[in-house]
């Protein structure tokens, strides 16, 4: 693919602008029963993906060339991964990893340079090369001994990781963890293939994190591992999995096995980060409990929202006038009433006078519905449904329930 430099030098790339506005958590929770809708709403778009891919390729090629010019040997090419590679990047916050494994990388020297406030030799060469080539399109944000945090093309956050191969030095060190990221990404990708709802859960979890500063202490990678556990342990729907994840945070537990061979075996947040997460998670569980409570599997027949315990709950939602597909209380109640009058099977639940055509459904409080077992009357269909269930253990079949 030919690389066009100028495309990234403009002040406004337009790439993030083209993303839909960041949704509220409530909006996303309304979609969780349809994981593909969550993905469509939150995931990096194809257009963004193509633009990011071009830019990352340009960065990787430049880094490779400048290191090679300095006589540095690069092992196994350059790997582009992270959220971008795992296809779990959010459309309003694009991030990716570039991993370079240099044969002469010295993890102790890198730590030493960092402690002295300097970039290490490899980082200096790569950053110089990128800034010469991309000018404003490569902005240095922060660094660590093995990672340059860059902003690329003004819209993409890149972790440029330069590390060595611990198999050459037979040494375990955190600084080598980047060398295993390709292997780890592959494991996560294969998990996502086997569990189609996994990506939707990750997107919801990352979005949740981004909405509150108390959650910024946890990395995307750590979150993705915790999401894998939630998928394994908490059933097959995103709602239950997300609730499990929040309950876990709320209890202060963030520990998860780390599949990275060169990193500590268990990944766990520090006490402060865990406490902030616990606070935020408990608040979310409380505030969104009607969206998150278990067992609510019944969907509204009009808007498809699935958060009702049973048919009468969904009908009550319709009758309240709050359904987005059937606005207004009066309008909704009239629609339901007309529907019930439309077939012989459902007419039996209307009070007789109305089926004779002598009354309309206009007056509020009018007892339009009647129980077929005890003749009690009700103003709302949902109340009749609830009554028949509670009193007679009978399910009223109407409106698709
Ligand atoms: Zn609805
Ligand atoms: Zn009854």
Residue 147, pLDDT > 90, answer yes
Residue 172 Cα to ligand 1 midpoint, Å, equals 55
- Which class for 71: exposed (0-12), middle (13-18), buried (19 or more C-beta within 10 A)? exposed
298-299 and 306-308 beta bridge pairing: antiparallel
pLDDT digits (tens, 9 = 90+) for 251-265: 999 999 999 888 778
Give the ligand with the smallest distance to the CA of 349: 2
Average pLDDT for residues 363-376, to the nearest whole number? 84
ipTM confidence score: 0.93
Q: 3-class SS at 319?
A: helix
User: Tens digits of per-residue pLDDT, 289-320?
Assistant: 888 877 666 778 888 776 777 888 889 889 98
Tell which phi-psi region holds residue 348, choosing left (phi > 0), alpha (psi between -120 and 50) or beta: alpha
Residue 33 Cα to ligand 1 midpoint, Å, equals: 14
* Mean pLDDT, the chain, whole residue set: 86
In angstroms, the CA 32 to CA 104 distance is: 47
Res 235: pLDDT: 77
The whole-number average pLDDT for the span 334-346 is: 89
Q: Cα–Cα distance between 75 and 159 in angstroms, integer?
A: 19
**Ligand 1 center to residue 331 CA distance, Å?**
13
**Which-ligand-closest: CA of 384?**
2
359: Cβ contacts below 8 Å, ≥ 6 apart: 353, 366
Report how far ligand 2's centroid is from the alpha carbon of 344 (Å): 19
Domains belonging to the chain, first-starting first, are: 5-17+35-176 (3.30.460.10), 187-292 (1.10.1410), 298-392 (no CATH)
């Amino acid at each position: 693919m030919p690389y066009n430099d100028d495309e990234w030098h403009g002040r406004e790339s337009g790439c993030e602008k083209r993303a839909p506005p960041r949704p509220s958590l409530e909006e996303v929770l309304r979609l969780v029963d349809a994981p593909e809708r969550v993905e469509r709403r939150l995931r990096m778009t194809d257009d963004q993906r193509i633009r990011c891919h071009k830019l990352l390729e340009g960065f990787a090629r430049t880094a490779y060339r400048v290191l090679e010019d300095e006589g540095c040997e690069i092992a196994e090419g350059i790997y582009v991964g992270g959220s971008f590679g795992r296809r779990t990047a959010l459309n309003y916050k694009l991030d990716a990893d570039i991993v370079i494994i240099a044969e002469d990388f010295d993890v102790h020297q890198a730590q030493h340079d960092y402690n002295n406030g300097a970039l290490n030799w490899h980082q200096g060469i790569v950053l110089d090369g990128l800034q010469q080539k991309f000018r404003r399109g490569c902005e240095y944000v922060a660094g660590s001994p093995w990672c340059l945090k860059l902003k690329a093309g003004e819209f993409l956050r890149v972790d440029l990781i330069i590390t060595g191969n611990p198999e050459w030095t037979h040494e375990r060190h955190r600084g080598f963890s980047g060398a295993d990221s390709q292997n780890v990404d592959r494991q996560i990708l294969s998990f996502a293939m086997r569990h189609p709802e996994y990506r939707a859960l990750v997107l919801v979890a990352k979005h949740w994190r981004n909405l509150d500063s108390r959650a910024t202490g946890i990395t995307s990678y750590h979150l993705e591992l915790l999401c894998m556990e939630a998928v394994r342990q908490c059933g097959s729907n995103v709602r239950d999995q997300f609730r499990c994840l929040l309950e876990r945070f709320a209890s202060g537990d963030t520990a998860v096995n780390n599949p990275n061979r060169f990193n500590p075996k268990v990944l766990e947040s520090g006490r402060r980060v865990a406490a902030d997460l616990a606070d935020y998670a408990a608040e979310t569980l409380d505030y969104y409990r009607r969206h998150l409570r278990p067992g609510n599997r019944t969907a509204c027949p009009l808007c498809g929202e699935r958060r009702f315990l049973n048919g009468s709950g969904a009908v009550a939602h319709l009758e309240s006038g709050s359904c987005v597909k059937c606005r207004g209380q009066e309008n909704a109640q009239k629609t339901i009433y007309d529907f019930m009058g439309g077939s012989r099977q459902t007419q039996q639940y209307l009070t007789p006078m109305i089926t004779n055509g002598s009354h309309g459904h206009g007056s509020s409080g009018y007892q339009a519905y009647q129980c077929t077992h005890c003749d009690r009357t009700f103003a709302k269909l949902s109340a009749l449904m609830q009554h028949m269930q509670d009193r007679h253990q009978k399910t009223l079949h109407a409106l698709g329930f």
